Structure 1
Amino acid sequence: MSLGERLDQELQRQGKTQVALAEAVGVSPATVSQWRAGSKKPSVANVIKIGEWLSISPAWLQFGDDPAPSRPVNEKDRAAYQRDCIWYYRSAPNDQGRELGSAAGFVFEGGIPTLARETGQNILDERKDGEPAVRATYTVMELSGPQLDSFLATIKFDEVRHHLEAASQSRQKVATVIRKGLETLDADQRLVLLKIEDFGANGLVGPEYDNGRYMAVVRNILDSFKDENAGGSYGLGKSVMWACSQFGLVLINSTLSVSQDGRREGRFIARMELPWHRLDKDYAGPAWYGEWDPEKECTRSYWGNPALAADALLDRPDGQSGTSFLIVGAYDPSGESTTVEEMHDSLCRALADNFWPAMTEPGEGEQAPMVALVRSERNGRILREDVVDPAAYHPAKVAMLRVHFDELTVDTLEAPGDVVRRSIPLNLPRRTAEGAHDHLQHEAVLLVAEADEESAEINRVAYTRGSQMIIREVPVRPLSMGSRPFHAVVLAGLGAGAEPADRAAERFLRAAEPPEHNHWVVTPDLSRSYSIGYHKALSDFYAEVGKTIREIVGRPNRDLSDGPDALKELLRITPPSEATTRRLRVKTAMGNLDDEGRWIVEATVTLPPRKEPWRFSPTIRFGTETGSGISVMWESLTGLSCCAADGDVIVAETGARSVRFRAVTDASTHPVNARWARVLVDVRVYKGSTS
């Protein structure tokens, strides 16, 4: 049953009209009709409003499935897993080397917010090809009484406890965490679990003992097995799940997007990360719970047992590919969240803070790439559930992004709600590693909107790329006196477009991220893969972002001594002209130098719809430390797609929404050697082209 069908069912069941619903939500009856028909989908914010008005769960309306599908357990299946599944504990090496904890788990600072960021990034990366969106569900669960006893019996905790107690005997940090976890379990007779699930994702595909997603998560350390456009690349993010377990224990159940050895559903395995410990003999630390493999003498995946999935609290809806992780003994290493309710709130906030671009719908009726649900339960009873609405946490930033998606940006900040869009050049150095390319210019997108002075987190700029996760957010300093308060975001790499230069920038920026993926800096991967110039490329990029923001938000020096001008400045009653609301944009610009020192540029320009053909002059400027740059003349212009060159003017075909052209600079007009220049391509609308 689709969202539209569930909405239609509830309206009929409650005897309510779509006109009344439209009035309650603040949309037209025609829009509600489209929701019911399934031709459009309501935004997350509207789903929440609908749920409140109909007194139904927004999560049920959005996703349809119950939080924990109730299915009768076949006792034969239960007996089978109790017989077949065992723990395998890796023996210590003969050289007596000891690992007293996984170093990967100590790379990241923070607790639950870091967990949400890292797992959310992995979920976005794992979205299945062809899926419009991936759904992330976080469920904080507290067990006590019979429910706790049943769960502990499922994972054979009495056996595991001997190893936990042995591992807790040292003075190492990990041992202290284990010891406290056991003490809390004994004293409170309750256990906190955190289930992290994705739907519409790839699942843990891959062979049992060879390269693939399964091995990268279950057996290997520092293995990400991701493509070049993914958010993560070090294979460290997954370690945060084990770091947030007091017992270093995570259970896994996966439904695969493609079959592995003829099987797709119910791939179960558990991994426990303990330090070296001594019991009946010396153990290395890691352990796995699954089916015994007599040939390899270890445990492997246990497939297709619905009783095990239900008893381990990892039951999944039939057919929905993706993976469920259950963190046993979940806690916040930072100590900031100590209750189920606090963990719930922390997850909601962290998901909104880090993924508001990914959770913003790109257009009316369209799905955002990521939808997130946070739920908390106590012994199976739902305490609270929230579909994360990014606009509830960052309304101005989400509104700014939607203006960009709707192509309603303007040239200057004149009225409330205005969003200015600028192109920021990122000059990519020559790539020497796989996928080599010469020098390229990428045009990132900068969006700036005026903020309410009382808003939180003003005068900051956020950076994101194709992963749609916020990489970093930093204050812009210095600002001149009288500057407007603002919000700003930079969309770089595949976040700005899908042209070759955008893909090249995506690869460059991914290589520039440290393990925390919270900055673009010089990294070993960057220095290995690119020729000299990567440091300057990044520093120039950041400098250009700051300079452009200061130009946009700075107020002009004007004599406001007379009343009318002062009132005009305060009220800003002059509406933006049509030209500012319907502007041409340079979508991509790629360039390289020829042997004669000329820049050869290929650019794509997007055009707003209009009846008359667009006519414009491309411009190129050599950047300077201050000011808008020095203009350079073209030697030649050539139309490549949907346009023709008429002297120094590009004439678009009637009805064209984008054009592509090639331009070559006149080297005699270069103010400096082109090899050392930072260039910016823009367009100037020809006078005869305005309507």
Structure 2
Amino acid sequence: MEAGEEFGPWLARQLKIAGKTQAELAEELGLTRAAVSAWITRRSVPRPTVMVEIAKALGTDLGTVHTRTTDTQAGLPVTWYHRPGYRDGGRDGGNAAAFAFDADVQVLARETCQNSLDERLVENGRPVRVRYTIHELTGEKLEAFRAAVLWDELQPHYLAVSESAADQKVGRVVDAGVRDMFEKGRLILLRVDDYNASGLTGDDYDDGKFAAVVRRQLESLKSGSGAGGSYGLGKATLWATSALGMVLINSTLSVPHEGRTERRVIGRLELPWRVVDGDQFAGPAWLGRPDPEKPNAEVVRSWWADEETVDRLHLTRDSDEPGTSFLIVGAHDVASLAPEKTDAAADEDGDGSVDDGTRDIKVMHKRLVEALGRDFWAAMTGGGSKLPLLETSVRTLRNGEVVVEEETVDPGDKQPSRTRALRAFFEGTTVDRLTQAGQVALRTVPLRLPLSGGRRGTLGTHQGVLLVTDAEDKDGAPNQVHSLRGNRMTIRKAGVSGLPLGVNQFQAVLLVGHAAGDSAPFAEEAEEFLRAAEPPEHDRWGQTEELTLRWSHSAHHRITRLTTEVNAAVKDLVVRPKSAGSQESAKVRKKLTVQRKAAPAKRAAGPTLPELDGLEAEIGADGEWKITAEVKLPRAEELPVMSPVVLLDVRSGSRPRLDWAELSAVEGCEIENGTLRFTPRARRAVFQGSTDVTSHPVRSEYTRLVLELRAGTGE
């Protein structure tokens, strides 16, 4: 049985809930006020016979007084508290943080799993277990749930939103969610449970994980550079996925609060500004027990619920293991509800039949499994002495009956090649060269970390680990590099440019930061640098405001250079050397031309100009030319500004000039208004670019590319 709260603090709170003073309780018990005060201040505890009388005075049973693992039900009942409208007349059309994400269960899976990974209890070495439960309610089950969330109290607020905010995004979503529930007679609940996690610890209002998630916006209390989140936005996906803007929470704490750990319950509602019965309300609302310490006891706080209450709210957890359950009420997934879904897509059972009543939740189930396997395969992979960091599963119910059996996500099934590569790294079975099928080749690639504060120079070189192996059909698109750091969530997915035709299909994994091994040089610094280079979506590394403020406006060039190193290492491992006279080499040479002007008999006086020294190019997915060019720089204190100009080779007449869609510096230069400014004393520069397809007079497949480097603005 869970250890209860100390008697004194527990009794003090029960008196506030019941609206009684110490003197009033003493009078009912026939004792002195000093005796009650001694209990409150922990100087003594009542005798067992007095405990019986205390239970009667508080309107509860003797067991509640003895165990003290829950509050009494006397006094202030659980209710909804709606934040009053702002005194200055300001209005919010919804929670701005939720607009950063779409109502997409795959986005939800990425953000919630990342948060659970960040909150994993690492002391025991076990993975955090995350379970997704899709549960559709209809009929009596739906009515019982509406009663449990006090729907009658909420309905006037939803009606006000439908009438006054119908022209706003949040208002339209909420109105559609309410209509869907009543017109179709159904409600989809999506619950996210994690186990072996910290839980929502801390006070209701003061700094802590509970307040950061439930009370505040854009606050992240993630500790350590290896954490995935840093913006405090991920939790907004929970409310963004709810068509009703409602999320209920039940947390089991890893650190006791008020002497207990189990069934800490609260709900939060996100609605836009509204007027109900003449009163203005700002937006959010909370489901909880009125706090007697707040003026007029209007503000609610979390409460320690009994088992019956959490069962009626569909928040019952499987065990007393620490972690949190988030119940998204009215879950909707735009992709699952898309009208273009065919009957074939709805036939999740593969038996040729379509059950329209469960199609949406079956598609939702499938998309969750896909997202977990795609983004968290590495976190779910172990090998050697390395254990998995994460376990995930998805199940789907309808009125408590199983629709789709619980499916544990197997990384080896979803990403066989990459999982094989990571296991080989953990087990120490990698090779230097790929000579047989199934082998995993390892190379180290340097990430040169800049000095912070805009200072020039390099802090140190972190050696990332690149793993390359043969591709399999289940991997998805071949010839991809998946990049990840400490928490082993896939951050970046990118192809390798400049691969020749006929190369054997492969998959590659780049491990940086702590993912490359805690003993890797500058692993902690690499984690901090790359974390700052991630946008809120955590799906790439590049220029961000934080990177500019903490390092410099050019710090992202270090990441671009890392990409160049990775691509070069991959090519070295997978491309077989070709003879100079091979047909394929001749075909490539016909496509590409590095334009150099013939040397005049006599050179004019003046500085020697930079010249193109190498070119790699390929045709992109949208028909654009994608180039990587190398420039040889002469020895000179100052070099003129040069402009890269891309042309199409023609048999006669002037060459058509193409526009650049993108130009980026890789090494030894900077791009400014389409021109190249070279780094002083550099001997080599590299830049990349993509052409603007709209400027192409003909399809790229039928053209030859010419690249010129012109002085000045390129005219």
TM-score interval w.r.t. the shorter chain?
Answer: 0.5 to 0.7
Q: 1:357 to 1:285 in 2, by over 3 A?
A: same
1:313-347 superposed Cα distances (whole Å, 9 cap, x missing partner) = 11124420000000000011345576111111111
Deviation, structure 1 residue 368: 1.2
- State the shift of 1:363 in Å: 3.0
Corresponding residue of 1:298? 299
Q: 1:382 aligns with which of 398, 402, 418?
A: 402
Quote how far apart the aligned CAs of 1:542 are: 1.1
SS class of match (1:439): strand
CA distance in 2, matches of 1:129, 1:676: 48
1:465 equivalent in structure 2: 485
Q: How does 1:302-341 map to 2 (within 5 A)?
A: 302-336=303-337, 339-341=360-362
1:120-149 alpha-carbon deviations (Å, 9 max, x no partner): 101111101313210000000011122211
* Alignment map for 1:21-100 (pairs within 5 Å): 80=73, 84-100=77-93
Query: How far apart, in 2, do the equivalents of 1:362 and 1:215 lie?
Result: 37
Matched, 1:106 2:103: no
Cα offset for 1:531? 4.5
SS of structure 1 residue aligned to 2:191: strand
Q: Is 2:139 the counterpart of 1:138? A: no
Structure 1 counterpart SS, 2:175: helix
Alignment partners' CA distance in 1, 2:459 and 2:128: 35
Residue 676 of structure 1 and its aligned partner are, at CA, apart by: 9.9
> In 1, are the aligned partners of 2:414 and 2:475 still within 8 Å (CA)?
no
Residue in structure 2 matching 1:147, options 141, 149, 166? 141
Secondary structure at the aligned position of 1:201 is classed as: coil
Superposed CA offset, 1:18-65 (max 9, x none):
xxxxxxxxxxxxxxxxxxxxxxxxxxxxxxxxxxxxxxxxxxxxxxxx
In the alignment, which of 201, 205, 208 is matched to residue 209 of structure 1? 205
- Encode CA deviations 1:580-622: one digit per residue, 9 max, x unaligned: xxxxxxxxxxxxxxxxxxxxxxxxxxxxxxxxxxxxxxxxxxx
> Is 1:449 aligned to 2:472, yes or no?
no
**1:192 corresponding residue in structure 2:** 188
1:277 matched residue in structure 2 = 274
Partner secondary structure for residue 105 of structure 1:
helix
Check whether the contact 1:89–1:286 (CA below 8 A) recurs between aligned residues: yes
- Aligned with 2:122: secondary structure? coil
1:287 to 2:285 alignment: yes
- Tell me by how many angstroms 1:483 deviates: 2.1
1:62 aligned residue: none
Aligned 1:487-636 pairs, distance under 5 A = 487-499=507-519, 501-531=522-552, 533-557=554-578
Task: Summarize deviations over 1:622-651 as a string: whole Å, max 9, x none.
Answer: xx9699xxxxxxxxxxxxxxxxxxxxxxxx
Q: CA deviation at 1:209?
A: 0.8
Distance in structure 2 (CA, Å) of the matches to 1:533 and 1:426: 15
Provide the C-alpha distance between the structure 2 equivalents of 1:230 and 1:314, rounded to a whole number of angstroms: 27
Alignment of 1:209-228 (within 5 A): 209-227=205-223, 228=225
Displacement of 1:150 in angstroms is: 1.3
SS at match of 2:220: coil
Q: Which amino acid aligns with 1:138?
A: Y
For the 8 Å contact 1:461–1:476, the answer to whether it is kept is yes
Deviation at 1:528, TM superposition (A): 1.6
Judge conservation of contact 1:78–1:308 (CA < 8 Å) in 2: no
Letter in 1 for 2:261: R
- Alpha-carbon distance in 2 for matches of 1:155, 1:523: 42
Whole-angstrom CA distance in 2 between matches of 1:453 and 1:149: 47
Q: How far did 1:78 drift?
A: 12
Go from structure 1 to structure 2 and tell me whether the alpha carbon gap of 1:231 and 1:222 turns closer, same or farther (over 3 Å shift). same
Paired residue total: 496
Matched, 1:160 2:154: yes
Counterpart for residue 657 of structure 1: none
Q: What is the distance in 1 between the residues matched to 2:539 and 2:502?
A: 31
The aligned counterpart of 2:44 is none
Query: Cα RMSD between the aligned structures?
Result: 2.9
Distance in 1 (CA, whole Å) between partners of 2:183 and 2:473 is 49
1:125 is matched with: 118
Given candidates 381, 386, 393, the residue that maps to 1:360 is 381
Residue of structure 2 in register with 1:42 after alignment = none
Q: Which residue of 2 aligns with 1:230?
A: 227
1:437 and 1:307 map into 2 onto residues whose CA distance is 63
SS of equivalent residue, structure 1 residue 220? coil
* Cα separation, partners in 2 of 1:455 and 1:305, compared to 1, 3 Å: closer
> Match of 1:199, as an amino acid?
Y
Q: Is the 8 A contact 1:258 1:264 kept in 2?
A: yes
Question: 8 Å contact 2:131–2:194 — kept in the other structure?
Answer: yes
C-alpha distance in 2 between matches for 1:517 and 1:676: 35
Asked if 1:175 is matched to 2:176, the reply is no
CA contact 1:196–1:325 (8 Å) conserved in 2: yes
State whether residues 429 and 533 of structure 1, in contact with CA within 8 Å, keep that contact through their aligned partners in structure 2: no
In 2, distance between residues paired with 1:204 and 1:674?
55
In structure 1, give the amino acid aligned to 2:285: A
Based on CA coordinates, which of the two structures has the bigger radius of gyration? 2
Q: 127-136 or 217-226, which moves further after superposition?
A: 127-136
Return closer, same or farther for 1:147/1:208 CA change in 2, 3 Å cut-off. Answer: same
Shift of 1:532: 6.0
Deviates more, 1:529-538 or 1:495-504: 529-538
What is the DSSP-based 3-state SS (H/G/I as helix, E as strand, rest coil) of the residue aligned with 1:232?
coil
Q: SS where residue 520 of structure 1 aligns?
A: coil
Asked if structure 2 preserves the Cα contact closer than 8 Å seen for 1:138 and 1:373, the reply is yes
Task: Report deviation, 1:272.
Answer: 0.3
Preserved contact between residue 482 and residue 554 of structure 1 (Cα < 8 Å):
no
CA deviation after TM superposition for structure 1 residue 304, in Å = 4.0
> In 1, distance between residues paired with 2:137 and 2:335?
22
Structure 1 pair 479/453, CA: closer, same or farther in 2 (3 Å)? farther
Cα distance in 2 for residues equivalent to 1:519 and 1:111 = 19
Summarize the Cα distance change of 1:427–1:677 in structure 2 as closer, same or farther, 3 Å threshold: farther
Going from structure 1 to structure 2, the CA distance change for 1:677 and 1:423 (only over 3 Å counts) comes to farther
Which residue of structure 1 lines up, in the alignment, with residue 709 of structure 2?
none
Q: Which residue of 2 aligns with 1:345?
A: 366
- In structure 1, the residue matched to 2:249 is 252
Write the letter of the residue equivalent to 1:161.
Q
Relative distance call for 1:369 and 1:626 in structure 2 (3 A) is: farther
Name the structure 1 match of 2:419.
398
2:652 is matched with which residue? none
Shift of 1:482: 3.1
The gaps in structure 1 that reach 5 residues or longer are: 1-73, 562-623, 628-671, 679-691
Pairwise CA distance, 1:397 = 1.4
**Aligned letter for 1:306?**
E
Aligned-residue offset at 1:151: 1.1
In the other structure, the counterpart of 2:702 is none
Aligned to 1:564: none
**1:370-401 CA distances to partner (integer Å, 9 max, x unpaired)?**
00011111111222210111122111111121
Q: Distance in 1 between matches of 2:275 and 2:418?
A: 54
Give the fraction of aligned pairs with identical amino acids, expressed as a percent: 41
Does structure 2 retain, via aligned residues, the 8 Å contact 1:363–1:402?
Answer: yes
Task: Call closer, same or farther: CA 1:189–1:514 in 2, change over 3 Å.
Answer: same
Q: Which moved more, 1:292-301 or 1:233-242?
A: 292-301
Distance 1:403 1:252, change over 3 A: same
8 Å contact kept, 1:244–1:333: no
TM-score (norm 1): 0.68
CA contact 1:482–1:555 (8 Å) conserved in 2: no
- Counterpart of 2:229, as a letter, is G
| 1:52 paired residue number | none
Q: Secondary structure at the match of 1:197?
A: strand
Distance 1:82 1:546, change over 3 A: farther
Which residue does 1:39 correspond to in 2?
A: none
Higher mean displacement: 351-360 or 108-117 = 108-117
Secondary structure at the residue paired with 1:150? Answer: helix
